[in-house]
Amino acid sequence: MASLTNFLAKPTPNLVSVTKITPFPSYFPPKFPPYSKPKQLLSNLEANYKGSIFIPKAAAASGVKKVSSDERVQQVHSIEEFDEALRSAKNRLVVVEYAASHSFQSSKIYPFMVDLSRTCNDVDFLLVMGDEDEKTRELCKREKIEKVPHFSFYKNMEKIHDEEGIGPDQLMGDVLYYGDNHSAVVQLHSREDVERLIDQHKADNKLLVLDVGLKHCGPCVKVYPTVIKLSRQMSDTVVFARMNGDENESCMQFLRDMNVIEVPTFLFIREGEICGRYVGSGKGELIGEILRYQGVRVTY
C-alpha cells in the first residue's frame, strides 16, 4: 500500500490490456462496434446525386416521426438555427441526430432519443433532417455528415464526440458519459482536484473509487452507467469520482504519473492511500473489486 505521493513517484507494473492510450499524446481508441444493421449511405438513399450530400425527393414520406410540441427534441432547419441552438445551450450537452427521410435506422432510433429528452432535462436534443432542403444539406456538409443515423455531441459550441450506427443502449451510455453533471460521481479536472478529494475523505473511512478514462473510449462509456448506479447505492460507504485523461494536460500528466496505460482504470483509495486498482469494464468484476477493498470476502 502506498501513499499518493509515493505512488506518483514510483511507476506500477504493466496492466492487462483493455484500451491502450500510449503513445502520448496520440490516443484514439476504437469506436463502438457497428450496430447490427448495416449503415446506410445517404447518397444511396436519394435518386439523384449532384455533388452535395443530400438531394431531397418531393414525394418522400418521412420515416422519422414528426417532432410534436410536447417533445424536447428541437428540429433545426438551417446553419443559423443550429448555431443559435448550440450558443443557447452554453455548457450543457447538446445531442444532435442527423437523419434522413428514407432511413429505416433513423426512424428506429429516433423514439429512444425522444424518451431520453424527456428524462435528461439538463441535455439539449436536436434533430437535423439532412434531406429536408438545401439549407440542411449545407449544414450536414459543413459538419461532414455522410451516413445516417449520425449522432454528434457538443459542449460549449465544440464537437466532443461522434457516433454512427449505434443502438439505444449505446446512445443512452453516451448521453450519461458526456452529459453527467448532477450524479453522485465527483467530476475531477486536474491533479489538484484529486488531491483535494483525497484530503476530504482521509478521516471518514470511505473508500474512494477513481474512474480514469478518456473521452473517446468505448469501454469507458460502456461501464459508466454502472458507476453512476453504484454511486447512488453505495453513497454511505464509497465515494465515486471520474477523470478524463484527455480533458487537459494536467489530467494527462496525472495518468502518466499513475502509469495508466489502458482505460478504464479504477483506482481504489482509502485514508489517503492507494490500495489497489482494477483495469477493465466488466460490471461484475468492478463490483467484486469494490467489495473486496471494503473488506468483504469475494469468491470467484
Active site residues: 217, 220
Report the distance separating Cα 151 and Cα 53, nearest Å: 16
SS3 for 137-164, per residue?
Answer: HHHHHHCCCCEECEEEEEECCEEEEEEE
CA 35 to chain centre: 17
For the chain, how many residues are written?
Answer: 300
What is the DSSP code string of 232-286? HHTTTTEEEEEEETTS-HHHHHHHHHTT--EESEEEEEETTEEEEEEES--HHHH
Longest dimension (CA), the chain: 69
Residue located via cell numbers 473510449:
217
- Please, which residues bridge with residue 13 across strands? none
